[in-house]
Amino acid sequence: MICHFMVGIPGSGKSTVAQQLADLTQGLIISTDRIREQLYGDEIIQGNWLEIEQKVLQEMEQAIASSQPIIYDATNAYRPWRLDILEKTALIYPEIPRSWIAWVLETPIEICKLRNQNRQRQVPESVIEQMEKAIANFPPTPSEGFIKVYRLKPDNLDLKTLVNNLII
C-alpha cells in the first residue's frame, strides 16, 4: 500500500494537493488542522500535541486496517516530526506492508505569505519563515523512510501522471 506524506510551509497548498491525491487514490486524508477543529472547536487552537497525535495515529490505524491509503496532511517541516510519525506508524499492523511517498510543496514563500494573509486562520510570518528554513536545511530524503520524494512547484502539479506512474 502506497501512503502519502505532505511536506510544506503554511499556505503552500498541501491541503489542495492532499485532496487531489485522495481523489486519485481513494486515500484517506488525515489532517492535523481537521483534528484540531474536532478536538478544540477551532483549527487555530494548537492544543496538546499528544492528544492530536493520538487521534492521528488512531485514524491511521483505521485506514491501514481497511487497506485504505493514508494521506497525511500536516506541515511536517521538521525532520524529527517526520521521523517520529513514520516510526510510530511502522508499529501499526507491521504485517501490512506500506510505503511512504513524500510530497514536498516548493511554493515560494512570498506566495505562501500572501495566501496566509487571506486566510481566516493566519500563521505568524516568523513561524512560516522558520519552517521554510527547516525544510531548506533538512529536506525530506529517502533515508527518512520514504520510497520517493517528489518536489512540487505550483506551476508543475501534474499529480495524475505521477500517481499513475507509481509502482503499486
At 106-165, the pLDDT tens digits run 999 999 999 999 988 889 999 999 999 999 999 999 999 999 999 998 766 666 666 666
At 22-61, the pLDDT tens digits run 999 999 999 999 999 999 887 777 889 999 999 999 999 9
Q: Report CA-CA distances (Å) from 119 to 10, 20, 53, 122.
A: 10, 20, 24, 6
The domain limits of the chain are 2-164
8 Å CB contact between 137 and 45:
no
Question: Nearest CA to 76 among 140, 153, 143?
Answer: 140
Q: Which amino acid is at 149?
A: V
**CATH among 3.40.50.300, 3.40.50.720, 1.20.120.530, 3.30.450.20 for 2-164:** 3.40.50.300
* Cβ atoms < 10 Å from Cβ of 114: 11
